[in-house]
A and B are shown apart, each in its own frame.
Chain A
Amino acid sequence: MKKLVASLMAAALVVSSLAACGNKGGADTTTAKAETTAAQKDETTAAEGEDDVLTLYVATWESSEMNQAIQKACDEVFSVKNPGIKVVVLDASYSDYGQSMISMIQAGDDLDIMQLGHDMGRNYYESGLVYDWGEIAANDADFMAGFFPGALDGWSFDDVVYGLPGLANVYGVFYNKDILDAKGIDYPSADWTWDDLFAMAEQLKDPAAGTYGIYGLPTDVFGLSQISVGNGGAKFVDRIVNPEGVTVDEEMIKAAEMINGYIADGTLPSRTYDGKDNQSNFESGQTGLLWYGQWEINSLINNCPDLNWGYAPCPAGSKGVANLYDYTGYGANAYRTAEHPEETWKLLKFLASEAYETVLKVSPVAACSYNEYAQVFFDTVEAAGHADAAEAVRVMMDSENKVACRFVAAWKDDCDKIWNTDYNNLLDNGGDFADTLTKLAEKVNAYIDAQ
């Protein structure tokens, strides 16, 4: 007995020492490359039931309400047209979405299509996690021609297509009508200009009370780019994905000088201002102007029925509107898609287009980037009594002069570091704008060339 107990305890001791360090902790595996593991047994082509129905799994970060609508669209529209394919929509948490997707792919889990941002899609493609649709998309030119101008730019480079855009994010100005009325300020119109915006913001600022004229306006170099491009300047990055260089021109320098002036006089917050409460403050009626993405429209309709608000598009420069944009969309798990690319492509196309006819009636969070179904968003928002918001989004969607809102490349973090310190200091404190910005651009271009 003594020996038995001792053996048991010794065994427990051995195992405990082996397992000791694995109990706690977290991991950032976002850069981990997927490898084919022993357990990555392929269930992808597993036919379910006797009818050989293929089940495809879709993961999104959307709300349960929206996921139910996507599931409904798949069941009632897609699977009816494609009786051999069943779709299961999985809920995943937005805050740790990337972590969840990588775990699922690495574990060989049931995951065929996943919602992605375009920069996330590019990173996943570089890691071999998502399927390249280049060839198939080239053979489906009619479908691909249906997207809004610029929508595909974030999902492809060279001949690679690593996913399809789904919803378009555009950025404009929310305004509190009561605050504007109290100051005797006219509401912004769909064709307003940057001069109009800053004139309005100057009337709303109150430096003594620590109140800025507008909150959330992007004053990083990409934010500046929408002002300079609107005034006829060159785009800061030559293309949205894997840019080959950056450009600082006269208009960009002028825009930087102008923003520096508005930061100095208290119209705009400084570059180091923490804007995490901007949205809450607007929703609670404390802010006159808020620069924010169109998805806030849905939140305001649902959560702030008593707030008297409106939405205006990105203002125009002397040469028209040049607005920031990005797209969420869908990519396909490279490991599973190779087994049934045709079926997955069909579903991918459906999710990026027709599905939104059902989904956006429930959750009007953004316009669909596929032209044919974008109207659903505008109709739903108009039906909720916000025709101005629908019009603002339409103006920005139709704009042919869209500009990138961040670097999308493997060297993003390094170039951000090269750029940000001197740039923030310049915008907050002033200096030789032409010299500093030109030198920064040279440094970034040299870094990109060296890659």
Chain B
Amino acid sequence: MKNEMRTGRKRREITAIVLRYVMIFVFMLPMILPVLWMLSTALKDNAGVFATPPQFIPKVFQWGNFKEAVIQSKYLQRFGNTLFIAVLCIIGSILSNFMVGYALARFKFKGRKMWFYLIISSMMIPGMTTVMPVFRFWVAVGAYGTWLPLILPAWLAGPFNTFLCKQFLSTIPRSYDEAAKIDGATYFQILSRIIMPLSKPLIAYMAVSTFQGSWNDYMNPLLYVISKQDKWTLALGIARLGSGTFGIEWNVYMAADILYFLPILVVFFIFQDYFMEGLGSMTAAGVK
């Protein structure tokens, strides 16, 4: 009897596992298929790209497409440009948002709520409407044609990340600050040695999302550095490969696209535990 119950339970467990994997596979398929098709196209020769019936596994593996993509998109130079901008954006975003969020969460000063609501309400303004005035501002200060318009905004704290920090830091007990203060810590020491180490998931989330935003940013480089090819980011370089007037080399374009999104995947996989924890912590902080 006991054996039968155990066998029945085991069977149910196996069925549940199989069902779970089948469901994961079903949902994964529409997401992974385009990526696999990209990879397949990236490896084909010109004739294979439009072959009928379509070849999922290329008849000829043309690895040279990746080399061609690197050359045509000036990948190495533009990878360096994009990485430089993204890293500075990450540092700026984390530092500035934490400082603003910390001030709003911990200091009591006149107009604190007003500032907080002002920052939050600025999220309601559609980004489109501010592009022209912001563009004119950067032109007026002589920053057109430089990376400043791509980097500096990240150092000035954004409304969503400020809100995120403020809400997250509000969940950390003030007793930690008080204990540190009793031990003689300054506000900056409290922020850097107590609060920030406790906020690793949030930092990871902000780092990954800022990196992704900066890496994928197409509009701002298009507006500010389009005429300075040595300052082009990867987004501009890759987009140019895919915007030929008289025909596109799809295999080279797909190879370049794969090389373009690979770094985001790598960063995500490295920080995915922290990232997911960061997303989870938002629920605790009442953000989601």
B222 within 8 A of A: yes
Q: Quick one: closest A residue to B244, CB to CB?
A: A63
Contact residues in A for B142 (Cβ distance below 8 Å): 39
CB distance from B86 to the nearest CB of A (A): 14
CA distance A299 to B250 in the complex (A): 11
Q: Quick one: closest A residue to B133, CB to CB?
A: A22
Contact residues in B for A106 (Cβ distance below 8 Å): 135-136, 139
A421 within 8 A of B: no
B203 within 8 A of A: no
B145 within 8 A of A: yes
B175 within 8 A of A: no
Whether the Cβ atoms of A103 and B246 lie closer than 8 Å is: no
A91, A111, A304: which contacts B229 (Cβ < 8 A)? Answer: A91
Whether the Cβ atoms of A285 and B52 lie closer than 8 Å is: yes
CA distance A90 to B232 in the complex (A): 12
CA distance A298 to B244 in the complex (A): 12
CA distance A284 to B44 in the complex (A): 14
Stretch at the interface among A8-16, A129-137, A376-384: A8-16
Stretch at the interface among B75-83, B101-109, B268-276: B101-109
Whether the Cβ atoms of B128 and A303 lie closer than 8 Å is: no
Contact residues in B for A37 (Cβ distance below 8 Å): 136, 139-140
CA distance A223 to B134 in the complex (A): 43
Whether the Cβ atoms of A99 and B222 lie closer than 8 Å is: yes
Q: Quick one: closest A residue to B119, CB to CB?
A: A17
Whether the Cβ atoms of A295 and B128 lie closer than 8 Å is: no
B7 within 8 A of A: no
Using known A-B contacts A21-B130, A306-B47, determine if residue A5 contacts B239 with beta carbons closer than 8 Å: no
CB distance from A290 to the nearest CB of B (A): 13
CA distance A104 to B47 in the complex (A): 39
Contact with B along A338-367 (1 / 0, CB 8 A): 000000000000000000000000010100
Whether the Cβ atoms of A109 and B227 lie closer than 8 Å is: yes
Whether the Cβ atoms of B47 and A286 lie closer than 8 Å is: no
Contact residues in B for A304 (Cβ distance below 8 Å): 46-47, 50
B147 within 8 A of A: no
Whether the Cβ atoms of A22 and B186 lie closer than 8 Å is: no
Whether the Cβ atoms of B227 and A104 lie closer than 8 Å is: yes
CA distance A365 to B245 in the complex (A): 9
Whether the Cβ atoms of A64 and B72 lie closer than 8 Å is: yes
A208 within 8 A of B: no
Contact residues in A for B145 (Cβ distance below 8 Å): 107, 109
Contact residues in A for B136 (Cβ distance below 8 Å): 37, 106
A22, A96, A363: which contacts B222 (Cβ < 8 A)? Answer: A96
Using known A-B contacts A32-B132, A37-B136, determine if residue A93 contacts B236 with beta carbons closer than 8 Å: yes
Contact with B along A211-240 (1 / 0, CB 8 A): 000000000000000000000000000000
CB distance from B275 to the nearest CB of A (A): 20
Contact with B along A76-115 (1 / 0, CB 8 A): 0000000000000011111110011001101111110000
Residues A23-54 near B (CB distance < 8 A)? 23-29, 32, 37-40
Q: Which residues of A contact B (CB under 8 A)?
A: 1-2, 5-6, 8-10, 12-13, 15-29, 32, 37-40, 57, 59, 61-64, 90-96, 99-100, 103-104, 106-111, 280, 283-286, 295-296, 298-299, 302-306, 363, 365
Q: List 23 A-B contacts (CB under 8 A).
A: A2-B187, A6-B109, A9-B100, A12-B100, A13-B100, A13-B115, A15-B156, A20-B123, A21-B159, A22-B127, A24-B213, A26-B219, A29-B131, A32-B132, A39-B139, A39-B141, A96-B222, A103-B224, A107-B139, A109-B227, A284-B50, A295-B247, A363-B246
Q: Which residues of B contact A (CB under 8 A)?
A: 46-47, 49-52, 54, 72, 96, 99-100, 102-104, 107, 109, 115, 118-119, 122-123, 125-136, 139-142, 144-145, 153-154, 156-159, 162, 186-188, 213, 219, 222-224, 226-227, 229, 236, 239-240, 242-247, 249
